[in-house]
Structure 1
Amino acid sequence: MVAVERRFPRSRHAGIADAVIARASAEPEITARPRRTLLRALRHGRLVVAFEGAELVGWFLSEPCGPGVHELGFIFVAPTARGDAVLLDLLDAAIAIEPRAVAVTFNPSFARWLIRSRGFRRVSLVRVTRVSRGWFLARRLAPGRLSIALRRTTAGEAWYLVRDA
């Protein structure tokens, strides 16, 4: 049975952040977030985590992206736990943080799934930037984030998504 949570006692924050980092470093398709970012997200209830027993099997990071808006990003579900149920539980817990969300993905099937299952709609980069009052673009222009994005960007087409409250 997989349990999805986003509120943890402060005494567990470091262990959870370390488990996310360790799992992310073992997965080549994941760009790990800094420990400081994960600890801040845990303090503010913005890191949704899935456990099967004591094993970390997934997470979804909600990052502030303007007043009343958050970016859904840094998602992972372990192959042993993949399926709509765990992903939906993670997504629903993340959406509950703030109903207004933006996201970007290079995976068309994932984008279509978000559109069908949770009311996202495809928009332009300009629209995502407006909805987030510039935060979405500004966060990507930060030197550390930009260098990671340039290394990770694929030849695929970006799908920009918005979910309004």
Structure 2
Amino acid sequence: MQIRYAIAWAMVAFQSTDASNSTSKGDLNGWYPCSEYTFSDEGSSTGQVAQCAVYSAPLCYPGICETPPGVNSEVDVFVKRLPATAADPATTTNVWLLQGGPGASSTDLEISMATLHSELEGTVNVYTMDHRGTGRSTKPDCVAAQVTTTGSPWGDEIDPSEVPAYA
């Protein structure tokens, strides 16, 4: 039952794009081998080789917001993948498993990633990521705006008016 649930959600994020044709404006620091299970003492227990990377994404996109002065204009986003083993990873389908949050990192999805990769017989790349502020991605810095502190009029909630200073 759990695998059907994971597959159903994975299909929502199913995409069949060629990874080499990406038009994003950020930079990927390159894929490196990493453990299939983040908190495992034994590394990859199923023999699958996971790969990790850090993607530097713009903090603000044109027409959405402007990066405040003195604030780093990029955020780091951690990404993990199980590359296809029965197809060419550069041209095969990509499946993304994303946390519904709030505040959860991708480590909770690692078992589902391995299961899905196995159930689909290694014919797809399976990806996950840590959303900004979770896991191994850049944490928000809200000191100047007092966002999420008692100094904020909204307490630990973030009001849309605070977003420009929430870098």
Q: Shorter-chain-normalised TM-score: which range?
A: under 0.3
Q: Which has the larger radius of gyration?
A: 2
Q: Which one has the bigger strand percentage?
A: 1
Larger relative helix fraction: 1
TM-score by length of structure 2 reads 0.26
